[in-house]
Structure 1
Amino acid sequence: MTQAYPPEGGTGMSMRNLTHLIYGLFALGLLSAGFFGIATIAAIVLAYLKRGEAAGTIYAGHFDWVIKTFWWGLLWVVLSGLATFIFIGWITGVIALVWIVYRLIKGWLALASGQPPIAEY
């Protein structure tokens, strides 16, 4: 039988709890419609800072997942904002937000089941 969560040494917050915190901060920033946008920025900064420590574990995939979701989501939201001048930006903006929420939920559920997030192409 394999162990879903490798033992973690040291003190402080475990990688699993840290990953939950990152997903939670990202979600807080989204659910507050940007009011707590600093929470999303904090999630990304934490993911970048702890990425090296998570190398070789399932958590590395989660950190990459959150970072990619942030940057691609930001790109599409900005492009949608620019496209509102031709009245199509509202549609693409909603699609971008739905995609961001989908990836956030999919990643968080994968974490809860002890698996790395898997992109479906």
Structure 2
Amino acid sequence: MTQVYPPDEGNGLSMRNLTHVIYGLFALGLLSAGFFGIATIASIVLAYLKRADAAGTLYAQHFDWVIKTFWWGLLWMLLSALATFIFLGWITGVIALVWIVYRVIKGWLALLAGSPPVAGY
């Protein structure tokens, strides 16, 4: 099944480019080990702000993907931080970080292929 991209209106970023920006900001926050954590927060804010504009398109699924990745990742990182008191948190923290990176890469590759991200994990 081929997804038809909506026409660009010529004002501002196209939805496709905006989605690339969202993934890029999220990845920047991850790669900088939290130093540019504001970039990750900016990507989530952008995804929330533009989600209504992307409703019914391929990009809405990408925005939902990034938002879910952020909130589930935050939950698992917080639980891992609490678990560091019993020395298990370091392991679960690394697993959560690998999962977040995996989801960002998987979603971004799906965007490059012109398809929605497929939930598997």
Normalised-by-shorter TM-score class: over 0.9
Q: Note the residue ranges of structure 2 that are not aligned, 5 or more in a row.
A: none
Distance in 1, Cα, partners of 2:51 & 2:115: 17
- The answer on 1:98 being equivalent to 2:98 is yes
Distance in 1, Cα, partners of 2:50 & 2:21: 12
- The answer on 1:11 being equivalent to 2:11 is yes
Please name the residue that 1:23 is paired with. Answer: 23
- The answer on 1:118 being equivalent to 2:115 is no
Q: Is the 8 A contact 1:48 1:63 kept in 2?
A: yes
Please name the residue that 1:79 is paired with. Answer: 79
Q: CA deviation at 1:6?
A: 2.4
What's the C-alpha RMSD, in Å, of the aligned pairs? 1.4
Residues 87 and 59 (structure 1), Cα distance of their counterparts in 2 relative to 1, 3 Å cut: same
Distance in 2, Cα, partners of 1:81 & 1:3: 41
Aligned sequence identity (%): 83
Give the AA of the match of 1:100: I
Deviations 1:32-58 (CA, angstroms, capped at 9, x unpaired): 000000000000000000000000000
Q: CA deviation at 1:10?
A: 4.5
Q: How many residue pairs end up in the alignment?
A: 121
Q: CA deviation at 1:9?
A: 2.0
Q: Is the 8 A contact 1:25 1:43 kept in 2?
A: yes
